[in-house]
């Protein structure tokens, strides 16, 4: 794993971002298959999309 991965996860946790967003971000960043359809939330999808792009564009929307 590279330092970007660990630094980003730490920053997201410090920001208080939703657990679903973080789990989605990790899945997207690692390019793992998505959760099954009935378990995908909006936060997870936003995180997954951001992770695929190696960015955190939508993280602010999922704080708290």
Q: pLDDT, tens digit, for every residue of 24-47?
A: 999 999 999 999 999 999 999 999
Q: Where are the alpha helices (DSSP H) in 1-64?
A: 3-15, 19-29, 42-52
Comparing C-alpha atoms, which of 63, 54, 45, 61 is closest to residue 3? 54
d(CA 15, CA 63): 7
The pLDDT tens digits for 44-61 are 999 999 999 999 999 999
Q: What is the pTM of this model?
A: 0.93
Residue with tokens 């971000």, as numbered in its chain: 25
Model confidence band, residue 1 (pLDDT cutoffs 50, 70, 90): confident
d(CA 56, CA 39): 21
Dig out the tokens for 54 from the structure: 């190696």
* Mean pLDDT, rounded, for 12-18: 97
């Amino acid at each position: 794993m590279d330092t970007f991965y660990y630094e980003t996860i730490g920053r997201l946790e410090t920001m208080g971002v939703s657990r679903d967003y973080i789990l989605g971000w990790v899945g997207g960043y690692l390019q793992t298959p998505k959760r099954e359809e009935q378990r995908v939330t909006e936060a997870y999808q936003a995180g997954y999309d951001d992770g695929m792009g190696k960015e955190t564009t939508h993280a602010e929307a999922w704080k708290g």
